Copies of this chain bind each other. A is one copy, B any other.
Amino acid sequence: MSAIRKLIVDGEFEMTRGTLQSPTIAYETWGCLNESGNNAVLIFTGLSPTAHVASSIDDPSSGWWEDMVGPDKPIDTDRYFVVCINSLGSCFGSTGPASINPATGEHYRLSFPILCLEDIANSGALVLDHLGIDSLHAVVGASMGGMTSLAFALLHPDRCCGLVSISSAARSLPFSIAIRSLQREIIRKDPAWADGEYDFAAGPVTGMRLARKLGMLSYRSATEWAERFGRERATDQPAVSHPFGIDFEVESYLEAHANRFVGTFDANCYLYLSRAMDLFDAADHGGSLETGLKRIDLERALIIGVETDFLFPVQQQEELAVTLKKNLKDVEFHRLASIQGHDSFLVDMDRFRPAVASFF
């Protein structure tokens, strides 16, 4: 059973660097919009999740942020009308490179326009129009979703009272760009990618697996792995493995993650979303980060970062908080001591639940 709802945009959708004809935006909702229409919370996701942030009557399967969203959870669906969208450019219901271009009857693939996070933010605004929501109680996002939330606040300053930005940044810095650029190149260099013209039933499986492993390296932390794996040898491997097979538990762990990822995400969609993160820079909205962020008009903002995150270093969340504070009264910054790196918001719930609950 699916809880996915779809908005088919009427006519052309103007993107930052192109146009889409009648794209679909997939989303899910939880709870009810109150009479004054001021209890809506919009969640933008990271690169790979679907819109299924939490279970519901229509889809009782666990969501990707099940501990955070639901009745009596920090984002309480008994109090708030929660909307989560599948990003434009993704492959879980929304239009992306794996979708059919109605003008040609063929899949977009690399003919999909260059994607910017601003486009995903604007597609969220269309969903709000459709649902009759003028202004949000808060726009919320972690990782790429935090950047998209910031883009939303920049582009629609009259439509959100609050912002919750988690393990995110106001722009991508070269180290993160280098990691993502290398992931994309690993995928593109897989002969099975075939310049994006792969068979959807197969595709660049090897490239996606390797890119996922590099992703896992950037999502976690050396500290966590030292505690968790140490120098433990893999136990699920034959005693005499390939000369360069799996020796260590950490290699087995990466292998398992790569295996789970493959087949769930379209390679071209991955490339577009990954690059959209690199391209994002709040300074593009005003010449500098400070003048860009001046456009933002919020009652409250909560910025959360994690000390062991090296994909979105905590200094970047601090920079965002400090810059927002120059123009906004109520900006709170939480620096969490989680050891799970960038992924902490998905796993270290004992630290993240109270931090997010403090806002709601």
**Tier of interface size on chain A:** 35 or more
B182 in contact with A310 (CB, 8 Å): no
B177 in contact with A250 (CB, 8 Å): yes
A174 in contact with B243 (CB, 8 Å): no
Interface residues of A in 248-293 (CB under 8 A from B): 248-251, 254, 271, 275, 278-279, 281
With contact pairs A173-B231, A279-B247 given, residues A254 and B210 touching in the complex (Cβ less than 8 Å)? no
Inter-chain CA distance A175–B231, complex, in Å, is 10
B225 in contact with A178 (CB, 8 Å): yes
Stretch at the interface among A51-59, A67-75, A77-85, A185-193: A185-193
B250 in contact with A184 (CB, 8 Å): no
A226 contacts which of B174, B185, B271 (Cβ < 8 Å)?
A: B174
Does A206 belong to the interface (CB within 8 Å)?
A: yes
Q: State the copy count for this chain.
A: 2
B213 in contact with A185 (CB, 8 Å): yes
Does A179 belong to the interface (CB within 8 Å)?
A: yes
CB distance from A180 to the nearest CB of B (A): 10
Q: Which 8 A-B pairs have the closest CB atoms?
A: A175-B222, A174-B250, A174-B225, A174-B229, A181-B251, A173-B226, A178-B250, A189-B206
Identify 28 residue pairs between A and B in the complex whose beta-carbon atoms are under 8 Å apart, listed by A's number: A114-B243, A172-B231, A173-B225, A174-B225, A174-B226, A174-B228, A174-B230, A174-B231, A175-B225, A175-B226, A175-B250, A178-B213, A178-B250, A181-B250, A181-B254, A182-B210, A182-B213, A182-B214, A185-B244, A186-B186, A186-B210, A188-B244, A222-B310, A231-B281, A244-B275, A247-B275, A247-B278, A247-B279
